[in-house]
Amino acid sequence: MRVDGLLFDKDGTLFDFGATWNGWAASMIDRFAKGDGAVSQRIADALMFDLTAKAFLPESFVIAGTNREAAEAVAGALPGSDVDAIDEELMLAAAEAPLAPAVPLAPLMDRFREVGLKLGVMTNDTEYGAKAHLTEAGVMDRFDFVAGFDSGFGAKPEPGPLLAFAEHTKLAPARVAMVGDSTHDLIAGRRAGMQTVAVLTGVALEAELAPHADVVLPNIGHIPAWMGA
């Protein structure tokens, strides 16, 4: 079926997940623990993060979860802490995380726009973080729609934020492809009645993603070939 719009997840899709977030997460755990090894381990366990490997475990809820869920987990490991303050600290720090684009983004997004595609980003990160990262990557102006879990449309795997993109761009959901690296992305796409494209620049393996995807690609750079564009 023809595709008139592409809605991208952010982390693990536009940006390589491990290269962007593993080192940053290790530094944030140390920051919250104030150098106390036992506290660091407690926070890491709550986030399902391997301190030795400095990497999220494949089953970690943080990979596809919201900023708030991560903040609640950190707060749970720090008795007496303020979850709202942790939530804000994570949001501001995440917006400055070192980015590792999965592919050169500007030429690819320009290519999509040249053939008339509407483009959007829907992430379970904050809208603030999403816009900061897209601006830092130099591609914010290529997108017609950018939303986070806190933008008022809901969070994946619910279809609400995906349908908000379709409504905003006046596209039929069936003519939109949801592109993501997690089952949250793909399940949301299916629930919204969209086409679903999985990419392998996150943590999930092909076997996990394939049942929910119309196609599994190495990275977003392969989308033009899939579309025949």
For 146-188, the pLDDT digits (tens) are 999 999 999 999 999 999 999 999 999 999 999 999 999 999 9
Confidence at residue 4, expressed as pLDDT on a 0 to 100 scale: 98
Burial per residue of 41-62, b for 16 or more beta-carbon CB atoms within 10 angstroms, e otherwise: ebbbebbebebeeebbeeebbb
Integer Cα distance of 174 and 180 in angstroms: 16
Integer Cα distance of 83 and 75 in angstroms: 5
Confidence at residue 132, expressed as pLDDT on a 0 to 100 scale: 95
Mean pLDDT of the chain: 96
**Per-residue pLDDT tens over the stretch 143-155:** 999 999 999 999 9
Confidence at residue 229, expressed as pLDDT on a 0 to 100 scale: 66
Confidence at residue 47, expressed as pLDDT on a 0 to 100 scale: 97
Percent of the chain with pLDDT over 90: 94
Tell me the domain boundaries of the chain.
5-16+101-227, 19-94
Radius of gyration for the chain, computed over Cα atoms and rounded to the nearest angstrom: 17
Q: Which amino acid is at 30?
A: D
Q: Per the confidence metrics, is the pTM higher than 0.85?
A: yes
Does the structure show a pLDDT above 80 at 35?
yes
What is the enclosing helix (H) or strand (E) of 132? Answer: helix 127-136
**Per-residue pLDDT tens over the stretch 58-99:** 899 998 889 999 999 999 999 999 999 999 999 999 988 889
* CATH architecture observed for domain 5-16+101-227: 3-Layer(aba) Sandwich (3.40)
Residue 68, CB-side half-sphere exposure with 13 Å CA sphere? 10
Integer Cα distance of 72 and 183 in angstroms: 22
Tokens describing residue 210: 């394939």
